[in-house]
Amino acid sequence: MTLLSSRLPGFHKLTLDERWHSLAVAAGLDAAELALLADERPLPLATAIGLAENTVGLLALPLGIGLNFVVNSKAVLVPMVTEEPSVIAAASNAARLALAGGGFMADADPSVMIAQIQLCDVADPEAARLRLLAAEAAIRASVDRAAPGMARRGGGARGVEVRVVDAPLGRRFVVVHLLVDVGDAMGANALNSIAEACAPEIAEIAGGRAALRILSNLADRRLARASVEIPFATLGTASLSGEAVAFAVEEASLFAEADPWRATTHNKGIMNGIDAVALATGNDWRALEAGAHAFAARSGAYGALSTWRSGALGLVGRIELPIAVGTVGATVEGNPRTQLALRLLGNPGARDLGGILAAVGLAQNLGALRALATEGIQRGHMARHARAVALAAGATAGQVDAIAEALIQLGDIKVERARVLLREAGA
């Protein structure tokens, strides 16, 4: 799919039928794909039963489209699954600002993941470490034998690392890291199988007992990065110059870089965007969260995943974090809507998808920081929250806007107040 533009002006004002038509034109969706979007049954129960244990039903979440994104000079429509108001709007608005600077630049490392093998009861850990490093060639060959298909596709073993870990209670473990390129897969199942297959040989070399054999979700060999520069003229508001907004965003960034309490909320905003795309594309958002937050604390103190600086010509933002995502595998290929989400993104490989997620996270972060630095976060957020409150109170599609506006005017955005307004409207 070649997308000429991700700009769909007025998309949020369109009816659902009009949105489908606009999306079909922009992305070249066929009738079957449009029918999939319109189908209110998100997943066949027969499929759901195979994905999770004790399945008794389905829980649906909204699938929206992040607009205005240009990543590496290529327009992309970004599928996002979230229940939180303002997330998609904030990302889309920030991406629109980024257009003035040419959009986002992004890249991602090769898909190298870590499988860990914990060795216990090793008599001489340091000597065992040296023996294991000397046996790297044999261990790498064992990795490739455990996953021959991966090796044939150009992936497979990339290295062996050995650490001696001093643990509580005076215990010492030898920990082996098998570095494996998993290609376009997220790689969890493959890594776990490799670790289990290679553990007996590794334990024998070390002279110890193999205990845990599992991947690490701190995928720090699989980093993704994105950057953006937004001209000052684009950043300005009715009351603040672009330079003033950029300086305020920089101050907010410095706060997050220095203070873990602020950094936690700063990074949560980043993950609002990344998680939403991960959900839409069938990826493990919990693994992404774990890896991102561990990476944010890699120096020993928890810090910000992104930085913003006021440069000579505009505001410059950068982000780097682990993003282990896949575009193949059972959870992706077994869900038609996940496949449709990847098609909307242009069917990227895992590395390209990682770069897109980094760009979305940076956009989400910009949207939040700009709002915080200017009008405050609540104004736009609560305006969108009012719609959700109106729906929760039982408003029909034709009533939602009027009830939401009345709630905002009253300054009382609560479900019970919305129910009172609905009763009054029906009187």
Q: Spell out the domain ranges in the chain.
A: 11-109+223-376, 112-215, 380-426
CA nearest neighbour of 318 among 191, 421, 178, 224? 224
Residue with tokens 């969108």, as numbered in its chain: 384
Mean pLDDT of 77-106: 96
Minimum mean pLDDT range among 23-27, 248-252, 391-395: 391-395
Confidence of residue 43 (pLDDT cuts 50, 70, 90): confident
pLDDT above 70 for 377: no
pTM over 0.75: yes
pLDDT of residue 239: 87
Query: Which one of the listed residues 84, 107, 144, 201 is annotated catalytic?
Result: 84
417: Cβ contacts below 8 Å, ≥ 6 apart: 407, 410
Of 12, 21, 268, 414, which one is the catalytic site residue? 268
Range from 49-58, 91-100, 234-243, 373-382 that averages highest in pLDDT: 91-100
Q: How confident is the model at residue 392 (pLDDT cuts 50, 70, 90)?
A: confident
Distance from C-alpha of 230 to C-alpha of 101, rounded to nearest angstrom = 5
- Known catalytic membership, residue 184: no
Catalytic: 375? no
The sign of the torsion formed by the CA atoms of 243, 248, 252, 258 equals positive
CATH class of 380-426: mainly alpha
Q: What span, in angstroms and rounded, lies between the C-alpha atoms of 73 and 264?
A: 31
Q: Exactly one of 181, 293, 352, 381 is catalytic; which is it? A: 381
Q: Is the dihedral of CA 275, 276, 280, 281 positive or negative?
A: negative
Query: Do the beta carbons of residue 303 and residue 257 sit within 8 Å?
Result: yes
| CATH number for the domain running over 11-109+223-376 | 3.90.770.10
Q: Above 80 in pLDDT, residue 300?
A: yes
Q: State residue 85's pLDDT score.
A: 84
Sequence-separated (6 or more) residues with CB below 8 Å from residue 410: 417
Closest-CA residue to 122 (of 159, 177, 160, 176): 176
Does 11-109+223-376 match 380-426 in CATH topology?
Answer: no
Rounded CA-CA distance 333/324 in Å is: 17
Considering the candidates 33, 184, 229, 284, report the single residue annotated as catalytic: 284
Please say if 250 is a catalytic residue.
no
> Taken in order 51, 56, 61, 63, is the CA torsion positive or negative?
positive
Strands of the 172-181 sheet, one edge to the other: 156-166, 172-181, 112-120, 209-215
Is the confidence at residue 64, as pLDDT, over 80?
A: yes
Which pLDDT score, from 0 to 100, does residue 330 have? Answer: 82
The answer to whether 220 is a known catalytic residue is: no
64 - beta bridge partners?
80
Helices (H) and strands (E) counted in the chain, each on its own, are: 18, 10
DSSP-assigned states of every residue in 181-196? E-TTS--HHHHHHHHH
Assigned CATH topology for domain 112-215: Alpha-Beta Plaits (3.30.70)
Q: How confident is the model at residue 235 (pLDDT cuts 50, 70, 90)?
A: very high
Closest CA to 289 of 280, 301, 276: 276
Over residues 204-230, mean pLDDT: 98
Does residue 220 carry a pLDDT above 50? yes
- Local confidence band at 427 (pLDDT 50, 70, 90 cut-offs): very low
pLDDT in tens, 154-190: 999 999 999 999 999 999 999 999 999 999 999 999 9
Q: For 273, phi and psi rounded to 5 degrees?
A: -75, -45
CA distance 211 to 56: 35
The owner of tokens 């090793």 is 122
125-154 residue pLDDT tens: 999 999 999 999 999 999 999 999 999 999
Section 383-402 average pLDDT? 79
pLDDT computed for residue 381 by the predictor: 57
The SS3 call for residue 55 is coil
Q: What is the DSSP letter of 227?
A: E
Residue 380 has pLDDT above 60, yes or no: no
Strands (E), 251-405: 306-310, 314-322
What whole-number percentage of the chain has pLDDT above 90?
Answer: 78
Q: How far apart are CA 89 and CA 112, in angstroms?
A: 33
DSSP code of residue 102: T
Q: What is the pLDDT of residue 395?
A: 86
